[in-house]
Amino acid sequence: MILDLIPESTRAAGLGALMKGAGAVTRALPIPQPALLVGPGSSRRLAQAVAAFGHARVLIVTDAMIAKLGLLDGLTQALGEGGAGYAIFDEITPDAPIPLIERGIAAFRDHDCDALVAVGGGSSMDAAKAIAIAAANPRKSLRSLAGYFKGLRTPMPVYAVPTTAGTGSEVTVAAVIADPERQSKLVIVDTRIVPRMAALDPQLMTGLPPAITAATGIDALTHAVESFIGQWATPYTEGLSLAAVGMIFANLRTACRDGANLEARETMALASTYAGMAFTRANVGYVHAIAHQFGGRYHTPHGLANAIMLPHVLRFVAPAVESRLARLAVRAGLGPESERDEVLAQAFIDGVEALNRDIGIPATLAALREADIPELAKAALHEAHTGYPVPRYMTQDECEQMIRRVLPRDQPAAAAPDAAEAPAGKPAARKTAARKAPARKSPPRKAAAAATDTAPTAPRKRRAAGAA
């Protein structure tokens, strides 16, 4: 990759222009939006619609837990009543690996299916999207489908019923699957794998355990925040991001504490979808870049990895996006509009940390090893700097120091002794890190905003918009 040959200092200056260009190139790319059914019982209504569309047999892609909890019952009954046949593939595991997706493709063919209904979290939805494109392009391996628009033929139709409120995969252009041989994640990006219809049914989410509710909820928050502070934000995505942030701050605590609260569940589901619509166009940033490395190496659940890193990355980017963080703070109900941006921006970072603490997100990553940090940082920066319109450039050293802050306490950090001592949710020097760091060579906000307009996904590397 040519970026690797450019010295870090020069790269910082060139990055903004590169990303603006990428945004401009893809500005015209239309991203379809699924029809949304929202509210208790909407998964049944989706099944009725699928049957009415005339599909002969659909493959329901899900995981064993969803099937065991009976969450498929209303949906399968409605399919049957509507005269559509179905087969159930309930083997999906978190971050579904290639061999599992291949079994799903075989099931799709063996049962002679003509569409897919994903019922589950991001792992089931992404598996269904991957099966959909692979089944339509039988000569291509899953690895060769990773990247942008790699399938020649239009994927089979996908319908989505999310059972977590986090990934937004029901509206995104991406499918993330695991490549166990290479210990990495693959991302298939194609506007044609966006589901045709999605049902946000809070009744299916009441049994989601608090820890998964918390982690997936912060995944949605991270989508909303990173799409809002990145250089590809547009008026359209900004509105979605702001709405999602407000809804998450107002409802995530309740959803974690009182899982049966249908209103909180439904609002979280909508927030996750809004955040998905925002980031599939405006992309994500350093939080996701680092979280993906934790996921690839330690199998850390995606939402948890994001949640642990979010406050640290916000503190780092704050000098470049103070007024943006201030707007988020106001929308999150953390301060009045009349307050100074600097105070509001800090209130937002503190608010994210307080939310994390209240819903039981740990401040450190138990699996993290000091010896892995340089490689993790290198891979994260490569991902970010080749795919994400980040608001402020981060060096290898800065990234390593940031990751060190989340080392478990029994592993003293070699280069940042203060951080290892930090109590949960209160990393050492947190008030000063963002404020004192000199603003770097990211483009000025105004220029960045002007450059974004309606910029959607850039067809660049494997990891990109929607790949969160």
Q: Does 123 bind ligand NAD (CB under 6 A)?
A: yes
Indicate which of Fe ion, ligand NAD, none lies near residue 166 (CB less than 5 to 8 Å, by partner kind).
ligand NAD
CB 453, min distance to ligand NAD, A: 23
What is the Cα–Cα distance from 238 to 381, expressed in whole angstroms?
25
Indicate which of ligand NAD, Fe ion, none lies near residue 216 (CB less than 5 to 8 Å, by partner kind).
ligand NAD
In angstroms, the first-to-last Cα distance of the chain is 22
Of 74, 97, 121, 230, the one binding ligand NAD by CB under 6 A? 121
Q: Does 126 bind Fe ion (CB under 5 A)?
A: no
The answer to whether the CB of 31 falls within 8 A of the CB of 413 is: no
Applying CB under 6 A, which part among 208-216, 226-234, 247-255, 402-410 lies near ligand NAD? 208-216
Q: Does 118 bind Fe ion (CB under 5 A)?
A: no
Structure-token match 């608010």, residue found: 351
CB 43, min distance to ligand NAD, A: 11
The answer to whether the CB of 225 falls within 8 A of the CB of 188 is: no
Q: Which is nearer to ligand NAD, 272 or 401 (CB)?
A: 272
Q: Does 363 bind ligand NAD (CB under 6 A)?
A: no
35-38 sheet: strands from edge to edge:
35-38, 197-200, 158-162, 115-120, 57-61, 85-89
Q: Does 63 bind ligand NAD (CB under 6 A)?
A: yes
Phi, psi of 156 (to 5 degrees): -65, 150
- Nearest CA to 458 out of 29, 3, 170, 4 is that of 29
Q: Does 383 bind Fe ion (CB under 5 A)?
A: no
Indicate which of Fe ion, ligand NAD, none lies near residue 15 (CB less than 5 to 8 Å, by partner kind).
none
CB 200, min distance to Fe ion, A: 17
Applying CB under 6 A, which part among 13-21, 121-129, 144-152, 244-252 lies near ligand NAD? 121-129
Quote the tokens at residue 421. 């001592």
Q: Does 317 bind Fe ion (CB under 5 A)?
A: no
Helices (H), 373-444: 373-387, 396-404, 417-420, 430-436
CB 292, min distance to Fe ion, A: 9
The answer to whether the CB of 19 falls within 8 A of the CB of 442 is: no
Q: Does 34 bind ligand NAD (CB under 6 A)?
A: no
Q: Does 43 bind ligand NAD (CB under 6 A)?
A: no
Can you say whether the dihedral through the CA atoms of 231, 236, 238, 241 is positive or negative?
negative
Q: Does 170 bind Fe ion (CB under 5 A)?
A: no
Q: Does 219 bind Fe ion (CB under 5 A)?
A: yes
The answer to whether the CB of 108 falls within 8 A of the CB of 88 is: no
What is the Cα–Cα distance from 94 to 112, expressed in whole angstroms?
26
Interface ranges with ligand NAD (CB under 6 A) = 63, 65-66, 69, 94-95, 120-124, 126, 163-164, 166-169, 172, 174-176, 204-205, 207-208, 212, 216, 219, 302-303, 466, 468
